[in-house]
C-alpha cells in the first residue's frame, strides 16, 4: 500500500522535510526566537520542524517548515515559496537580513 504525502499531513509534490515529533529537536542550539535588530521581524524556529514568522504587528505573517544541515537552514513556506539562510557566529543570515537570538541585542527605539 502506498501512502501519499498529503495523507500524512504533507503537501503533495514538495521536497519538504517530514513533520518532526515535538521533542525531536527541542535541544537543538538553533531552536527558539530570532529577531532583527529593530525587532520588526521575529522568526520562531519550533522544535517540530516548523517556523512562525511575525512582521511588525502582523503575527504569523509566514509559516512553514524548515530543515537544518550543519549551519545551513532551508525554509519551505506553506504558501509555496522557498528560502534559505545560514547561522554564522551566532547570527542567522536570511533574506538579506540579520537575526539575533531574542534578548541578545538591544532593540532600536
**82-88 and 97-101 as β-strands: parallel, antiparallel, unpaired?**
unpaired
Please give the C-alpha separations between residue 60 and each of 10, 14, 42, 54, in angstroms, as whole numbers. Answer: 20, 22, 9, 5
Does the structure show a pLDDT above 60 at 7? no
CA distance 14 to 5: 9
Yes or no: say if 98 and 37 are a contact pair by the CB < 8 Å rule: yes
Q: What is the pLDDT of residue 1?
A: 38
41-60 per-position pLDDT tens digit = 999 999 999 999 999 999 99
- In this predicted structure, the answer to whether residue 77 has a pLDDT above a threshold of 50 is yes
Given a cut of 50, whether residue 12 has pLDDT beyond it is no
**What pTM was estimated for this model as a whole?**
0.75
Whether residue 92 is predicted with pLDDT greater than 80 in this model: the reply is yes
**DSSP letters spanning 6-50:** GGGTPPTT--PPPPPPTTTTTT-TT-EEEEETTSSEEEEE-TTSE
**Contact in structure between 46 and 60 (CB atoms under 8 Å):** no
Amino acid at each position: 500500500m502506498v501512502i501519499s504525502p498529503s495523507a500524512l499531513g504533507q503537501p503533495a509534490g514538495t521536497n519538504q522535510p517530514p513533520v518532526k515529533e515535538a521533542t525531536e529537536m527541542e535541544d537543538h542550539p538553533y531552536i527558539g526566537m530570532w529577531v532583527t535588530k529593530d525587532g520588526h521581524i521575529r522568526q520562531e524556529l519550533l522544535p517540530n520542524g516548523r517556523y512562525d514568522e511575525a512582521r511588525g504587528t502582523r503575527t504569523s505573517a509566514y509559516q512553514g517548515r524548515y530543515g537544518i544541515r550543519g549551519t545551513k537552514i532551508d525554509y519551505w513556506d506553506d504558501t509555496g515559496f522557498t528560502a534559505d539562510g545560514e547561522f554564522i557566529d551566532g547570527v542567522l543570515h536570511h533574506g538579506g537580513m540579520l537575526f539575533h537570538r531574542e534578548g541578545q541585542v538591544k532593540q532600536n527605539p
